[in-house]
Structure 1
Amino acid sequence: MANADEAALPYHEPHIVTILILVSFMLLLNLANHIIDKILYCGLLAQLFLGIGWGTPGANWLGREFEHVAVNLGYLGLLLIVYEGGLMTSFKALKDNILLSAGVAITGIALPIGASYILLTLVGATLLQAFAAGAALCSTSLGTTFTVMKASGLITTRMGIVLTSAAMMDDVVGLIMVQVISNIGGASSSFSAVTIVRPVCVSIGFVGVVPLLARFIIRPLTIWLNCKRTASPTGYISYILTRGATTLILHLSILIGLITATTYAGTSNLFAAYLAGASISWWDTTVPHPRAHGSGTNLSTNETGRPPSVLSATSGTTGVETFERFFFQPFQRILKPLFFASIGFSVPITRMFDGDVIWRGVIFTIFMFVSKFACGLWLMRLPGLASGVLRLGRRSDTEKKPTGENKMGTVAAVAGSGCVSDPQQATSGGIVMQTSSPVPGKKQSAPRQSNEGRARTRSAVTSTSKPISLYSGCIVGCAMVARGEIGFLISALAESNGIFGDEPNGPIFLVVTWAIMLCTIIGPLIVGILVSRVKKMEVGAAGRSGRKSVLGDWGVS
C-alpha cells in the first residue's frame, strides 16, 4: 500500500520472475493469435484463453495490479477496434443496406430478451432478473465482430457492412442497458423514465448533429481551404494540411472530442469511436481534395491528361493511412491482445463447474445461440426478408431522385465554389472520387458511368434475393452470437447492484456467465470454420468460368 506522504513512486527493478511472466504472456498473445488466425480467422479466442490461464481465474501469475492496467489499456484497444471499423465504413453500402441492417439488429435485440425469460423456470429468476440477463445477452461484441471480419477479409463486403452496422446498433442498445442497469438498485424494481430516455435521446442527438456539422460546417470549410490550396499549392496552408502530424492531430481531436462529449452526455463512448471513424471516412471519400504538391502529378493535369487539380483525399493523409502509420503496431501487438485477454480475466472459471450450474448454463446458451443466429435468416433465401427490404430501399431512392440525375453532388459543389472553372469539365471526369475507404497498397478504381452504375445496382439488388448458398446467412448469424465485453459488463453491473440476488456469484450470475462465455467462444469459432471453407471453395472454383462467388453479391466490396 502506497504511503500518502510519498512525493513520488519509489523505483524498483522488476523481479526476473515478473519479467519472464510478462514476456511470455505478451509473446504468446501475439504468437497464438497469428497461428489461429492463419487457420480459423479467430485468434482472439486464444488470447481469451491465455487471459483465463495467466490471470486471476487460472494461475494468477499476472497479479491484480497488472490486470487492472491491462483492462484499462485493453479498453483503449477496444475503442481503436471500433474506430478502425468506422474508418472502413462504406457510406454507399451502408445507405443501400440500412433497412436490412436495422432488421438484423432488431432481431438480435428482441429475440434474446424474449428468450431470456426461460430463466423464470430454469433457475427461478424474477422478471427483473430475466430482463437484466436478456439485456446482457442482447448485445453483440463489437471488438469480436470487427476483429473476425477483418481477419477474414470480409469487413468491406456488403455482408460485412450489414453485420458491423447491425452489431453497432445492438451495442448501442446494450450500452443503453448499461445505463439502465446502473440505475436500478437491488432493493427496488422501479426507476425513472429518464434512465432510459436520456441515453436514447443523446444517441439519436449525436447521430443527427454530427452529420449536420459535417455537411454544413466541415464540408464548406474544407472546400474553402481546398480553393486556397489550389490557388497556392506551395503556400503555408497547403504545406500544413498535407503533413501527417497535422492529420494525426485532427483525427485524434475528433476521436477524443466525441468520446468525451458522449461520455459526459450519458451515452456510449464506443458509439462515439465508431462515429468518429465514420465521419473521417466520409470526409476522405465524399469531399474532394487537391492533390498534394510534389506528389508526382502536375497540378494542372492528372494521369488521364485532363486539367483539374481536385482529387480524393490527399495520399498519405486519409483516415486509414493515418491509422496504419501511427496506431497499427501498438494497437495490433499490445492494446488489442490485452483487450481480449482482459475478457478472460472476467470469467470466474473456478466457480462455474457445479453440476447444476453447468447444465443450466448449457441450456441457456442454446437459447441464446439460436436467438442471435436467427439474425442470419435475413440474408438467406427466404421471401420477404432481404429481397423485400432491399427492393423497398431501392423504391424509396427512386422516388427521391429523378432518372438520370447526376449523383456527384460534391462535384457540383466544388464547381460552384470557384475551384474548378468549368463545371462540365468537372462532371466529365476531372474529379476523381473514392467509392470506399482507401486501403494502403490497394489501387482505387475510377468512377463508372452513371448508366452503368444504375445497371450494376439493379443487378445487385435483383441477385441478392437468390443467393447460391447459405454461407452468408450462417456467417452473419454466428458472428452476431458473440457477446463479449458488453455482455460481461452488464452482467457484472447487475451482480454488483444485487439484481441477481444477494449471494455473490449466485446461480443466475453463473448461468448468464456460462452463456456469455460459450457464445463468445463458439460464435467466432464457427465463423472462422465457415470462412475457411468458403475461401477453399472459391479457390477451387477460380478456374471455372461462369460460376458465381460462394457468397454471391454479399461478398462484393
Structure 2
Amino acid sequence: MSSNVAALSYHEPGIVTILILASFLLLQNVVNWAFDRLLFCGLIGQIAIGVAWGKPGADWLSDDAQNVIMQIGYLGLVLLVFEGGLSTDLKTLKSNLLLSSLVALTGISAPIGLSFLLPSFVNGVTSVQAFAAGAALCSTSLGTTFTILSTSGLSSSRLGVVLSSAAMMDDIVGLVMSGIISSLGTSSDFSAVTVIRPVFVSIAFAIIVPLVCAWMLKPLTRLLYNAIRSQKSERAHNWIATENAALVLHALVLSGLVAAASYAGTSNLFAAYLAGAVITWWDGLCKELRGPNTNRETDLPATRTQSCAQPTQDDGQLSSASKSAAPAGERQDRGQAAQESKSHTNIDDSNGPPVALSSPSCPDLYDSLTGMAIFDKYYSGALQTILKPFFFASIGFAIPISQMFTSSILWRGFVYTILMLFAKLICGLFLVRFATPLIPIQALSKRFRKSMSSCWPWPFRTGKAAITPSPTSQIAHVAPAQRQERSLSQERQQNSSRKRPHVPKPISLYPAALLGSAMVARGEIGFLISSVAESDGVFGSDGEEGSSELFLVVTWAILLCTLLGPIAVGLMVKRVKRLQERERSKQTGKDDPLGIWGVIPDARQPT
C-alpha cells in the first residue's frame, strides 16, 4: 500500500460483489434460524457458510473481505463474552468457584496428557509437538459456550455459571499456551517471562478488579447516592439516570478493561467477562441502595415519572364493572391483591398522587438502566444479525478443508478426535451423583470412632457412662409432658426412617452430560493456537507440500469437536425442555431433569 495517498478513492462495487456479500449475510441468518429451531446450535450452519464462501471452499469472498470479516467477527466475540459476564449471577459464581476450578483443571490437564499418545499413531511427533497439540485442544470456545447458553436459556442457571467460568479459565490458559508455543517456534531459548507474565497478569486482574469494586467503587457509589437523596445534585441526577449515560458508562468500562488487559499481556476476552460481571455487580449494589421502599418521584427525573401512566376514570369504571361481574371468590381474591398493592405504594399528598413501586402498568423504571437492559436494546440486534455470524464464519475461513480428506489424515484425525472428546467429557463427572460416594466418609468416621474408643476407653466409655444416666432412669425422672414430646419425636424419627430407606436417590445424568458436551467445543482459541504452532514451525510444516500432517490431524479434532459438542448440547436441551413441558402440563410432581443445576436465581445481590 502506498503511504502517499491522501484519501481512499471511492469505487462503486460491482453487482457480483454485492450479490456475494448479500447472500453471505442473509444465508448466515437464515441458516442460524433453521439450526436453532432444529438443534439449538445455529453456529454449525454459520461455520459451514464460512467454509463455503471463504478460501477453503469456493473462495467467492476476496482476501481483504475475509480479513475484515475476521476482524469484525472478533468484535462480536468480545461482545458475546461481555454478555456472558452480564448474565452471570455473582452469588452462584462465588459459591461454585471451587467446582469451576476443578472442571477447568480437568479440561486442561486431560487433553494435554492424552496428546502425548500422538507419537503412537502419528509418525515423527516429538514431545514438544504433542504438547503444542494438547495446548490447542485444552481450550474451550467462549463464543460457542455463550451462544449455547443464551440459546438454551441456561445463562443465569447454576450450570451455566459453572460452565462459563470453567470455559473462561480454559481460555486464559489456552491463550497463555499460545504465547508459549509462539516462543518455542520463534526462538531456541525458552523464556520464563513468556509463561509467567500472562499467568500473573490474569491473576492480578482477577484479584485487583474485585478489590477496586469493594474498596473504591462501592464507597463512591454510596456517597453519590446520598448526595442524590439529599437533593443537592438534582441536575446531575437527571442526566445520570438516563439510558444514554448508562450506555456511555458501560462502553467505557468495557473498552477500558479490554485495552488494559491487552497492553498488560493477558486475554482481552477475560477482561470483557470481568467488565460484564462488574456492571452486573454495580447494578445489584444500586438496587440494594435504593431498597424496596424508595419513593420513585424523588429518585427519578420528572420526565421519567410522568411516563408512568396513572389510572383514568374510564379505567376505574371498567375495573368496577369487572368486579361486579366477577364471582364472589374472584372478587375476594382481587380485594386481597388490591390491599397488598396498596401496602406496597408510597403516598405523599404534598408531592402528588401515589406512585407504585412495581406493577404491570408502572414497573421499576430503573430496570431499563441495568447492564442487561442496555445490552439488549443497543447491542443485541447488531450482535445477533451481523457480528456473531461474522465471527463463526471466520472460524470456517481457517479450516483447510481441501487438504483434510486423505486416508492417512482421516483415520488419524478420527482417533485423535475420540481422545479429545473423552478428555472433555470427563469434566461432567463432577456433577454425577453416585449412589455410594467414592470415599465412604461416614463409614471411615465410624471406624475411626470405634478405634479411638478402644484405644482411649475413659473418655469414650466410662466418661459417657458416668455423665449420661441410663435410659430407664431417664424415663423414671421425666415429666409426663416431656415424656410425651420425646415419644412423639421418636415416632417422627421412626416414620422418617421408614419413609426414607437406604435406597439411592434418583440420579439424573443430564447436568453432567450437558457440562461435558458443552466443554467439548474448541472453536476460535483452538484454531488460533494450532495456526500459531503451524506458522511458527512447531508442527514441522513443509512450505512446499503445504500444511503438515500433525496440523491437519489437530484441525480435524478441533473441527469435529466444535461441531459435535453444540449438536449434542442442542439435542439434550431439546429433550430436557420436552420433559419439563410434559411434567408441567401433566403436573406429575416429578423433579426437574436438571435439578438444582437448572435453577435460575430470581434476584441478584451484590457480593
Rate the CA distance shift 1:499–1:313 in 2: closer, same or farther, 3 A.
Answer: farther
> Is the contact between residue 140 and residue 170 of structure 2 (CA under 8 Å) also seen in structure 1?
yes
Which residue number in structure 1 is paired with residue 110 of structure 2? Answer: 111
Which residue number in structure 1 is paired with residue 580 of structure 2? Answer: 538
Rate the CA distance shift 1:467–1:60 in 2: closer, same or farther, 3 A.
Answer: farther
Provide the C-alpha distance between the structure 2 equivalents of 1:302 and 1:222, rounded to a whole number of angstroms.
31
Give the match's secondary structure for 1:315.
helix
Give the match's secondary structure for 1:185.
helix
Provide the C-alpha distance between the structure 1 equivalents of 2:437 and 2:271, rounded to a whole number of angstroms.
33
Which residue number in structure 2 is paired with residue 292 of structure 1? Answer: 300
Which residue number in structure 2 is paired with residue 547 of structure 1? Answer: 590
Give the match's secondary structure for 1:135.
helix
498-507 or 358-367: bigger deviation: 498-507
Aligned residue type for 1:534: V
Counting only pairs closer than 5 Å after superposition, residues 260-271 of structure 1 correspond to structure 2 as: 260-271=259-270
**In the alignment, does 2:180 pair up with 1:217?**
no
Counting only pairs closer than 5 Å after superposition, residues 76-225 of structure 1 correspond to structure 2 as: 76-123=75-122, 124-185=124-185, 188=188, 190-225=189-224
Aligned residue type for 2:20: I
Provide the C-alpha distance between the structure 2 equivalents of 1:315 and 1:484, rounded to a whole number of angstroms.
35
Provide the C-alpha distance between the structure 2 equivalents of 1:187 and 1:467, rounded to a whole number of angstroms.
56
Rate the CA distance shift 1:502–1:48 in 2: closer, same or farther, 3 A.
Answer: closer
Give the match's secondary structure for 2:519.
helix
541-550 or 513-522: bigger deviation: 541-550
Provide the C-alpha distance between the structure 1 equivalents of 2:342 and 2:8, rounded to a whole number of angstroms.
59
Which residue number in structure 1 is paired with residue 523 of structure 2? Answer: 484
**In the alignment, does 2:399 pair up with 1:359?**
no
Counting only pairs closer than 5 Å after superposition, residues 23-38 of structure 1 correspond to structure 2 as: 23-38=22-37
Q: Deviations over 1:31-86 (max 9, x none)?
A: 11111112211001000000000110000011111000000000000000000000
- Of 491, 494, 505 in structure 1, the residue corresponding to residue 533 of structure 2 is 494
Aligned residue type for 2:414: V
Which residue number in structure 1 is paired with residue 374 of structure 2? Answer: 322
Q: Deviations over 1:3-43 (max 9, x none)?
A: 44322111111100111111111011011111111221100
Provide the C-alpha distance between the structure 1 equivalents of 2:5 and 2:87, rounded to a whole number of angstroms.
47
Return the offset for 1:302.
Answer: 9.6
Rate the CA distance shift 1:219–1:506 in 2: closer, same or farther, 3 A.
Answer: same
Number of equivalenced pairs: 477
Aligned residue type for 2:377: R
Aligned residue type for 2:136: A
Which residue number in structure 2 is paired with residue 340 of structure 1? Answer: 392
> Is the contact between residue 467 and residue 552 of structure 1 (CA under 8 Å) also seen in structure 2?
no
Which residue number in structure 2 is paired with residue 526 of structure 1? Answer: 568
Which residue number in structure 2 is paired with residue 231 of structure 1? Answer: 230
Provide the C-alpha distance between the structure 2 equivalents of 1:469 and 1:20, rounded to a whole number of angstroms.
50
Provide the C-alpha distance between the structure 2 equivalents of 1:247 and 1:255, rounded to a whole number of angstroms.
12
Q: Deviations over 1:341-391 (max 9, x none)?
A: 000000000011111011000000000000001111111123658999xxx
Provide the C-alpha distance between the structure 1 equivalents of 2:541 and 2:570, rounded to a whole number of angstroms.
40
Rate the CA distance shift 1:307–1:198 in 2: closer, same or farther, 3 A.
Answer: farther
Provide the C-alpha distance between the structure 1 equivalents of 2:541 and 2:143, rounded to a whole number of angstroms.
32
Identity of aligned residues (%): 49
Return the offset for 1:307.
Answer: 9.1
Return the offset for 1:121.
Answer: 1.5
Counting only pairs closer than 5 Å after superposition, residues 10-21 of structure 1 correspond to structure 2 as: 10-21=9-20
Give the match's secondary structure for 1:481.
coil
Aligned residue type for 2:139: S
Provide the C-alpha distance between the structure 2 equivalents of 1:279 and 1:232, rounded to a whole number of angstroms.
27
Which residue number in structure 1 is paired with residue 558 of structure 2? Answer: 516
Give the match's secondary structure for 2:280.
helix
Provide the C-alpha distance between the structure 1 equivalents of 2:342 and 2:264, rounded to a whole number of angstroms.
46
Q: Which one has a bigger Cα radius of gyration?
A: 2
Provide the C-alpha distance between the structure 2 equivalents of 1:206 and 1:385, rounded to a whole number of angstroms.
36
> Is the contact between residue 541 and residue 547 of structure 2 (CA under 8 Å) also seen in structure 1?
no
Which residue number in structure 1 is paired with residue 549 of structure 2? Answer: 507
> Is the contact between residue 50 and residue 344 of structure 1 (CA under 8 Å) also seen in structure 2?
yes
Q: Deviations over 1:385-420 (max 9, x none)?
A: 8999xxxxxxxxxxxxxxxxxxxxxxxxxxxxxxxx
Provide the C-alpha distance between the structure 2 equivalents of 1:151 and 1:468, rounded to a whole number of angstroms.
26
233-242 or 468-477: bigger deviation: 233-242
Rate the CA distance shift 1:490–1:95 in 2: closer, same or farther, 3 A.
Answer: same
TM-score by length of 2: 0.75
**In the alignment, does 2:367 pair up with 1:331?**
no
Return the offset for 1:286.
Answer: 3.1
Provide the C-alpha distance between the structure 2 equivalents of 1:467 and 1:191, rounded to a whole number of angstroms.
52
Aligned residue type for 1:18: T
**In the alignment, does 2:344 pair up with 1:304?**
yes
Rate the CA distance shift 1:349–1:289 in 2: closer, same or farther, 3 A.
Answer: same
Provide the C-alpha distance between the structure 2 equivalents of 1:347 and 1:535, rounded to a whole number of angstroms.
33
Provide the C-alpha distance between the structure 2 equivalents of 1:234 and 1:72, rounded to a whole number of angstroms.
43
Provide the C-alpha distance between the structure 1 equivalents of 2:550 and 2:506, rounded to a whole number of angstroms.
41
Provide the C-alpha distance between the structure 2 equivalents of 1:176 and 1:386, rounded to a whole number of angstroms.
35
Which residue number in structure 1 is paired with residue 68 of structure 2? Answer: 69
Segments of 5+ residues of structure 2 without an aligned counterpart are: 291-298, 310-340, 349-354, 359-363, 442-503, 601-607
Rate the CA distance shift 1:66–1:555 in 2: closer, same or farther, 3 A.
Answer: same
Give the match's secondary structure for 2:592.
coil
Give the match's secondary structure for 2:366.
coil
> Is the contact between residue 228 and residue 237 of structure 1 (CA under 8 Å) also seen in structure 2?
no
Segments of 5+ residues of structure 1 without an aligned counterpart are: 389-464
Rate the CA distance shift 1:54–1:386 in 2: closer, same or farther, 3 A.
Answer: farther
Which residue number in structure 2 is paired with residue 378 of structure 1? Answer: 430
Return the offset for 1:319.
Answer: 0.5
> Is the contact between residue 179 and residue 196 of structure 1 (CA under 8 Å) also seen in structure 2?
yes
Provide the C-alpha distance between the structure 1 equivalents of 2:440 and 2:141, rounded to a whole number of angstroms.
27
Give the match's secondary structure for 2:368.
coil
TM-score by length of 1: 0.82
Which residue number in structure 1 is paired with residue 318 of structure 2? Answer: none
Give the match's secondary structure for 2:88.
coil
